[in-house]
Amino acid sequence: MLFNNPPLTLALQKEGDNRMAYVGRFAPSPTGPLHFGSLLTAVASYCDAKAQQGQWLVRVEDTDIPRIYPGSEQHILQCLEAFQLYPDAEIIFQKDRLALYETVIEQLHAIGQVYACACTRKMLGSNHIYAGTCRDLGLAFEHQAIRVKVQDQRICFQDRLQGLHCCNLKQDLGDFVLKRRDGIINYQLAVVVDDYLQGITHVVRGADLLDNTERQIWLAQLLGYPTLSYMHLPLAMNDQGQKLSKQNLAKALDPKQAPELLQQALHALHQPEVDIDRPEIMLQQAVAQWNTDLIPHCIELEGHYL
Ligand code: GLU
């Protein structure tokens, strides 16, 4: 079976490929300015990595060009600087790496795991489960969406906070899109390729991405990439019961308030108090006290945030 094969992307491997025990990351999409919800992810992923003597990397996920919000990338990077959340390697930008994702699609094509799909949104209608209409049509790849084949089997993983999570991709979703008809590389593919190439071992992110994880595990299995550890954090909600997001007009963080915001973020994660100081010092204290058992094991945090 495919899964026992060596990684298909040997040519893309990092030099030496000496995988470390813990490499974490923060992977914001510049679809809006940094808000309190994304700060929770940045702080938790940083503290979790540092508390385990790991590395912490930053990757800007900017493949979905139409959704990029002007100025948000600068705001996110400016905030990371103000919070003194310094990554252990140069920040990478996915828009510079499109050729890599194309190579991986070719590799999946070579093993018969992807196909071109000519179905339009209109043809698919409200049906969220793709029936595999184009699976055996052998359509040419140019100007078509590219889908990856899934199987009728349960994929499960043990989340560090959310417990066992499972999905049958065939029954719940169907073959899913890796590249859109307009040429845009889907998040699912880019995230899996870059987590692998950056040597990521631990993913800490918001629980809104919990349901994406089985797709990513499936892709990683097809490509022979190692399995990752996942921790999906409870989400900060606004007073309307919605998760903080640009669409819900979540407030852009003010970098000048970094110490106060950092204290609030650690409080929201139910971590022991830290004294107001320079963010660097506060982070050192937060790392020394970091305890994931204290983070609520649920999808939504209690209380309201802006
Ligand atoms: N770029 C994604 C987001 O901002 C996060 C991806 C991830 O952490 O896997 O929602």
185 phi and psi angles, rounded to 5 deg? -75, 130
pLDDT surpasses 80 at 2: no
Mean pLDDT of the chain: 92
Indicate if ligand 1 lies below 6 Å from the C-beta of 29.
yes
- What proportion of the chain, given as a percentage, has pLDDT over 90? 83
Distance (angstroms) between ligand 1 centre and the Cα of 65 equals 15
pLDDT surpasses 80 at 104: yes
Distance (angstroms) between ligand 1 centre and the Cα of 18 equals 25
Per the domain annotation, does 69 fall within a domain? yes
Per the domain annotation, does 207 fall within a domain? yes
Q: pLDDT: is 10 or 233 the higher one?
A: 233
Structural domain range at position 200: 23-96+187-294
Contact 235, 206 (CB under 8 A): yes
pLDDT surpasses 70 at 90: yes
Per the domain annotation, does 119 fall within a domain? no
Per residue in 7-61, pLDDT (tens digit) is 444 445 554 556 789 999 999 999 999 999 999 999 999 999 999 999 999 999 9
Structural domain count, the chain: 1
pLDDT surpasses 80 at 151: yes
| Highest mean pLDDT out of 11-20, 118-127, 154-163 | 154-163
Find the mean pLDDT for residues 172-182.
96
Written as one letter, the residue type at 56 is W
Q: Is residue 286 classed exposed, middle or buried when 0-12, 13-18 and 19+ CB atoms within 10 A define those classes?
A: buried
Classify 254 as helix, strand or coil. coil
Per residue in 212-221, pLDDT (tens digit) is 999 999 999 9
Per the domain annotation, does 11 fall within a domain? no
Per the domain annotation, does 132 fall within a domain? no
Picking from 194, 236, 201, the residue whose alpha carbon sits closest to that of residue 103 is 194
Which DSSP symbol is given to 76?
H
Residue listed under structure tokens 């025990």: 21
Per the domain annotation, does 204 fall within a domain? yes
Q: Which are the contacts of 52, defined by CB distance < 8 A and separation ≥ 6?
A: 21, 22, 202
Per the domain annotation, does 12 fall within a domain? no
Find the mean pLDDT for residues 158-171.
97
For residue 15, the model assigns a pLDDT of 46
For residue 1, the model assigns a pLDDT of 34
Per residue in 237-274, pLDDT (tens digit) is 888 888 887 777 788 999 999 999 999 999 999 999 99
Find the mean pLDDT for residues 108-134.
91
Distance (angstroms) between ligand 1 centre and the Cα of 123 equals 29
Q: Which are the contacts of 273, defined by CB distance < 8 A and separation ≥ 6?
A: 263, 266, 267
The CATH number given to whatever domain includes residue 39 is: 3.40.50.620
For residue 8, the model assigns a pLDDT of 45
Dist. CA 12–CA 124, nearest whole Å: 35
Dist. CA 27–CA 19, nearest whole Å: 19
Q: pLDDT: is 175 or 303 the higher one?
A: 175
- Mutate which of 68, 73, 191 for ligand 1? The one with the most ligand atoms within 8 Å of its CB, which is 191
Give the residue whose CA is nearest to atom 7 of ligand 1. Answer: 27
Contact 231, 209 (CB under 8 A): no
186 phi and psi angles, rounded to 5 deg? -70, 145
Distance (angstroms) between ligand 1 centre and the Cα of 137 equals 33
Per the domain annotation, does 56 fall within a domain? yes
pLDDT surpasses 70 at 92: yes
For residue 18, the model assigns a pLDDT of 64
